[in-house]
Each structure stands twice: as structure tokens, then as C-alpha cells.
Amino acid sequence: MKLKEVRCDQFAGLNRNDPASTIKFDDGLNLIVGDNEQGKSTMVDLIYYLLFKDVKLDTRSDKEFIARYFPQKTTGRAGDVIDGALVFEDEEGECCIRKEWEKKDGICRLTLPDGTLIRDPDALKQYLRDTLPYQEGIYGEIVFASQKRQLNCVKSIMEGLNRDKATKDKLQQTKETLLSVLNRAALETGGVALDELEKQLDQRLTQYNAHWDEQMELPEGGVKRGIHNKWKREVGLILQAYYEMEEVRGKLQKAEADEEACEEITDRIRSREKEKELRTAEKEEFSGVRTALKTRHILLEKLTDQTERIREMEKVLQEWPKLSGQIAQAQALKEQRNQAVLLRQYEQADRIRINREATAGRLQQMMPVTQEDIDTYRKAQRRKAGLEGKMSGLSLVARIQMEKDTAVHVSQLASGEELVADGNEFQINAAVEIEIPDVMKMQLLPQDVDVDVLREEIKACDVVMKRITDQYKTDSCDKLEEMKMAYQQCQFELERLDAQWDQILDGADWESLKTAGEAARQKYSLETAGEETAHEYSPETVAYTDSLETEEQFPHSPLDLDEIDDSIRTLCGTGVSLEEYLGGRKAKQSDYEAKYHSIEELKKQKETLEQERGQTQKEADETDQIPDKYRRIPDPDRYLTELNEEIKELEEDIRQSNARKNELSRSMDEVAAEEYAELLEEKAQTYERTRKAYQHWKHISEVFQELKEKSGDNPVQDIEDHFRKYLSEISQDALDASMDERMEVDLANGTRRLTYDTLSDGTKDTIALAFRLAMLEHLFPEGNGLAVFDDSFTDMDPGRVRQACRLVQKFAERNQVIFTTCDNKYEEIFENGPVNVVHIGVD
């Protein structure tokens, strides 16, 4: 096993926010450096407990563990669980053990290399027994030995083995275990041959476990071979005790079930008889009030009907006067909306008419430019540019030096443009004419170019272009394009307006629309100039018209279509059209008129019905002698029938229960359940004693086999050799020792024999380290072992510390070593070899 990582969320004083809560390990030497109280030793303890500590804690036996490792805080929540995880590598790959300890039950989980998860604590223990080469004692006293255990080790090997079992400490028990593992001579055979002793042990084990499955704690064959299908032959002591215990358990269960059933039947009989008495008394009482109750129910039903009818009339009286106002308001809004739609159509059409006439006027004032004229202009322009190009192509510098102040003119032949001199130089790149007034004229031409012909052709191009620009009163082809584009846009706008005109009229005559629109506009002007209220209503609707509700729902501008639509939505509600609303109100008004004729007639009917209801209430009040518990019964006759049926059912239940009780009493065992319980406890104790006796003999057999396989003539010889060698090297030949087959040590310094009481603390550390290294070499001769050194060299002098570190580093060449310290000097001591340094508590 090779450790890879240990971590925790909460353990002792550490939590997941502490640097020491996660430590990664490499092969070979791992140096963990950190100040005191940083968690080094705590994480070493965590590794040990992850391997060997059960997650299920006992508050008494694990009191010290709980007090030491469960978090203790002076403020805030301390937490009620500790945990840890250990990642390690076995022969099959990387595994991980996770444990959570609580003060009662805990949780453990093992993740195998193939991803398999195991949560059963016993399965986890078995895996560790199969994986680890030694048991917990070896790891506790040798692999993970603390400073205190090292000193106990020195004292034990120098003072001899304590044979007093009553005072033997845990270190000495471990020493005996080591001796047992190393020396078969530890067996007290009493002169009996080992083979014969082994045979006797096997017979004794068979005597106990014949036909018994120890793992399942059941007979061989499982539950199928229980007390109803027993093994008949070769029944072992455990199986016999099990059968006797289960037989008594079965009798106890039957006796308890029978007694419980008998008690339940008795309770049921008493309960049913009591209930029968109550139902019979209730029947007698109810029979005396049944007729009065029936009369009361008839009156209450009549009273309920009269009350509902009066409520309906009150509702109609509230709604009926409002219907006329609502209908008038809806009709007014409908008329306003029709007028607003007409006026909006007229105004939109009028705006389109005005824009259409203005656009047509602008189009008449524009001159349409033809694409043919634009193409002719472009062609003449390109022709002229080509002709001018023929007269260019020169690259000359004319340097003219005049002796007197005589003018010199240099001009282009194609355009007549005069060139400007740069000092006395002219840059010439086209055909030019050089003139000295009254003296000479000279032309510089490209070869094979007839300038006069080119001039005439260029003039012809100019004539064509001038004709076109004069025709359209412009000066460039780009402006011709702009004029064409503007004409087309105006023409398109007119067509768009024509389409809008046809769409808004939608087949109507403009003059008719204009007349109707002007009439609507005039009506609006007259209404806004008249009285504050624009509509008059009939006298029936005056109250409704003058209400605040009417003023809020009428728009301030009756012909504002959006405001009218808002008023319609306010009146009708979302999703209801004005026509639907108006039709619904008219239909409801017609229903009221058909049912009640008029509001006055409705008021008379309501008054008559209220008088009738008062008389009915008076008659119902005269039936108050009926008890309250019966007043809510809807059907008295049916209730009496149900009471009679319940009494008959109770009588039948009592009869059947008495019959079952008598039958059960006849079949019950004469032995009481309490007696069977005492007998079962005795049988269970016998069963447990028999199992413990078997485990005792099994342990003896296992120890015998282990010692038989591992014993030799002198199994501690290699330990003695390595112990003496390491002791000499660490002490630099100052100490010498001998060890017998019982691992008892004699120590000398030169010729002076040393005892435990005369040793200095540094020498004790030296002896402890030499013994541990010797034991580790013996336990892991092929390497692949593990050793933990937790601040082990604190009392050694510097020379011995360096020698000890050299031996630890050599051991780490083939094994994994975890070395914790608070002293940075060990980084320098171990720097010559491979080492994984982990700093804790340092930024």
C-alpha cells in the first residue's frame, strides 16, 4: 500500500479551510514541515484512524477519542461530526477510504480502482485485513509509533517482558504479539506433537461449528434449515444451542400473539358494548323528536327558498335602473365612434388630396431628362478625354533662360490652358505651344499626332455636350442624373399618393365623403360650443347620467377615436365588443320586464315575499325544543333506520367476538409468555457463550497456524543484527547492544553496562529509532512498506540526528516514509536525496 493523499473537512482542531487539511504524498521520503499546533500530528493520527478506527462510536469506551478529536469551540457552532479521506494505491490501482465519525452511528465508504463502492463496515475491515500485511497492533506500535510509544518500547525491551497479565500495558501486549509471530516456541505444547495438537484443535472446532454458517450466523443452508427443517446428524454445539433458542423464541412469539389477540378481543367486546348502550339511548331520545324535526326541515327549506328569492329581487332592483343608462351610454359611444371614423377618413383623404395636388404641381414644373441625352453626353465626354489623351504622353522639362525680360507663354494645345513655370522650368506631359511674343511660336507634339484634326474633334465633342447642358439648363452630367432621379422620385410619390387616395376612398365618392365629413366636423364644433353635457337622456336615466361614473367614461373630445375606444373598453371591459355589450344589456332588460313587468311591480312582489318569510321564520322558531345535535340531520326517517342497523351490527360483532375469544382460550398454551421470555433469555445466553467458546478455540487455532508457519530456530536474529548495526551507526560506535530470542536487550557504553534509568532522553530516542528500523526491516524485507516518524529526533544531538536522517533516507529508498517536524533544518539535512517537502501554515 502506498499513500497518495489524506484530507478532512473537520477533524480535531482542523477544518477544510486549514492548509493542513489536505496533504499529498509521493513515493519515498515525504517531509512535512510546520510550526507547532499546525496539524501535522493530527493528520498522522487521522491516517491511522482511517485504517483502523470503527465509525460507530461508544460514548463510554471511546470517550478519550471523542474528547480529543471532536471539535471544541469557545464561540459559534462546534459541529457534531468529524471526517477524513485517505487515497492510497494497492496492487490493482488507486482506492479511497472515507469515514465520518458521529457520537453514535457513523458512515464509511471504500472506493475501489474499478469504481466499485463499499459501505458495509465489516466488508471494509475485511478488505483492509486482505490488503495490509499486518494487524492493527504492528501498525500502532511500529509503523505509526509516537514519541511516547517509542520511550515505552525502550523501557520494555530493556526491562524484560512483564508476565503479569493484570498489569501488562498495550506496548507489552504488542511485544508479545511480535514474539508470537516470530517464534513458534511461544506455544506451550506440553510435550504433545504439533500435528496431534493441530488435530485436536480441528476436532474441537468441528464439535462447535458442525453444520453452522459462521458468516451468515445461520445453519448451513440458511433459513431453509431452521427449526422446521433441522439438521438431524452431526449437529454442532452452536447449532444445537441455536435450535433450542429458536424453538423457545417461536413458542414465545405464539404465546405473545395469542395473549395480545385475546386482549384485543376483550377490548373490542367492551368497546362494542359501550357503543351499543350509547346508540340505544340515542335511538330512544331521537324517536321522541323525529316528527318535530321533520316539520322543522320543511320550514327551513321553505325559508331558504324565500331568502334566495328576496336576494335575487334586491339584486335586480339595484341593476335595473342602471341598465337604461348603460344602454344610452353605449349607443352614444357607438354614434360617436361612427362619426369619429367618418371624420378621420375625411381628414386623411383631404391630406392625401392636398399632397397629391402639390406633388402633381411639382412634377409639371420639372423637365424630364431622357436616358438617351445622358448617354450622348457621357459618350462625347469619353471621346473628348480620349482625344486629349492622344495629345499627352510626354514627359519633358523645358528649361528656358531669357537674356532680357521677354515674356514666354507655354500653353496646352488641347485646352489652351497656360502652364505655370517653376522658376525657369516647365513640366510638360502633353502637346504644348511655346510662344515668345513678336519673336516666335513653337509646338511640342507627340510623334505622329495631327493636332489640328484633334482640335476639331474635341470642339465637336464640346458642341454636343454644350447643346445638352443648355437644353436642360445645367452644367454637368452629374446634375443631369440628379434631375432625372428627382423627376422619377416625384413621379413615384404621385403614384403612391394615387394608390392611397383610391384606398382611403374605397370606392366612395369624394364629394359625398367631403359633405359627410364637413357635417361631422360642424356637429362637433356646435356640440363643444353648447352645453357641458353633449347628450340628453330620458327621465329614467337622469340619476345615472349625472353620476361621476358617466362623467369619467365620456371623453372630453367626443370625436377623438382613440379616446372613444378607451371609453368603450372602460365601459364594456377587455375582450367585449360594443355590440356584444349593448346586446347583452338590452337582453337583460327584456328579461326583467318579462319576469317582473316594472320596477314598481317588483317592489310589491318583494314586500309580499318578505312578509311570507317572516311568518315562516316564526313557525321555525317554535321548534326550538329539538336538541342542537339533531337539528342538522337532513332525513330523520333515514337517520332512525341507520341507528337500528348500527345497533344490530354491534350486537352481531359482540356475538362473533365472544365466539373467537372462547376458541382462542381453548387453543392457548398453559405456559405464559412471561415464562417463555425468561426461558428465551437463558437459551440466548447459552447460545452466546457457545459462540464465544468457539471463537476462543478458533483464535487459538489461528495463532497456532500462524506461529507454526512463521517460527524458526531464532526468528529475531535478523532484528538483533540490524538493531546492533543501526545503534552503532547512530551513536557513532558509542553504544553496543545484544538481544536474545525474547527481544530483551543488554546495552553497554564501552565496558559500562547501561540501565533504562541511566539513559539520557537522546539515547532513549537513539535506541527507539534503532529498534524501530530493525523491526521495519524485518517486517518489510522486500520494501514497499510504510513508516511514520512524528518529531522523533527532538532530544538527539546534531551528530546523531544526521546519522539517524541518513538511515531514514536509506529506508525510504525502497519504502514510503512520512517525516513530520517543526524544524526547518531537516530540509537541509535531507537535501542530498529525493524528498517531497510539504510546508504547512506557510503562505
Residue 261 has pLDDT above 70, yes or no: yes
* CB contact at 8 A, 56 and 108: no
Give pLDDT, residue 743: 57
Residue 763 has pLDDT above 90, yes or no: no
* CB contact at 8 A, 821 and 791: yes
Residue 753 has pLDDT above 70, yes or no: yes
Q: How far apart are CA 764 and CA 741, in angstroms?
A: 22
Give pLDDT, residue 742: 56
Residue 548 has pLDDT above 80, yes or no: no
Closest CA to 547 of 336, 315, 322, 319: 322
Residue 150 has pLDDT above 70, yes or no: no
Q: What are phi and psi of 248, to 5 degrees?
A: -65, -35
Task: Match 480502482 to its residue by C-alpha cell.
Answer: 113
Between 605 and 75, where is the model more confident? Answer: 605
On the CB side of 339, CA atoms within 13 Å amount to 20
Residue 45 has pLDDT above 70, yes or no: yes
pLDDT tens-place string over residues 690-717: 999 889 888 888 877 776 665 544 556 7
Give pLDDT, residue 531: 45
- 38-47, 329-338, 708-717: which has the minimum mean pLDDT? 708-717
What does DSSP say about strands 736-739 and 432-436: parallel, antiparallel, or unpaired? unpaired
In this prediction, residues 793-800 reach a mean pLDDT of: 87
On the CB side of 237, CA atoms within 13 Å amount to 16
* CB contact at 8 A, 348 and 504: yes
Task: Encode 313-339: b = buried (16+ Cβ within 10 Å), e = exposed.
Answer: beebeeebeebbbbbbbbebbbebbeb
Closest CA to 773 of 711, 736, 831, 817: 817
pLDDT tens-place string over residues 392-446: 766 677 777 776 777 888 887 777 778 887 777 877 777 778 888 877 888 777 7
Q: At 761, list the grid cell.
A: 532522553
Give pLDDT, residue 81: 92
pLDDT tens-place string over residues 620-629: 787 767 777 7
Q: In what order do the strands lie in the sheet with 736-739?
A: 736-739, 745-749, 752-754
Q: How far apart are CA 836 and CA 32, in angstroms?
A: 8
Give pLDDT, residue 96: 96
pLDDT band at 842 (very low <50, low <70, confident <90, very high): low
Task: Encode 501-536: b = buried (16+ Cβ within 10 Å), e = exposed.
Answer: eeebbeeeeeeebeebbeebbeebeeeeeeeeeebe
Give pLDDT, residue 756: 66
Give pLDDT, residue 166: 43
Strands (E), 683-802: 736-739, 745-749, 752-754, 786-790
Q: How far apart are CA 553 and CA 196, in angstroms?
A: 118
Give pLDDT, residue 664: 85
pLDDT band at 182 (very low <50, low <70, confident <90, very high): very low
Between 176 and 276, where is the model more confident? Answer: 276
Q: Is the dihedral of CA 451, 457, 463, 469 positive or negative?
A: negative
Q: What are phi and psi of 426, to 5 degrees?
A: -120, 130
- For the chain, the average pLDDT equals 82
- 160-164, 330-334, 390-394, 546-550: which has the minimum mean pLDDT? 546-550
pLDDT band at 739 (very low <50, low <70, confident <90, very high): low
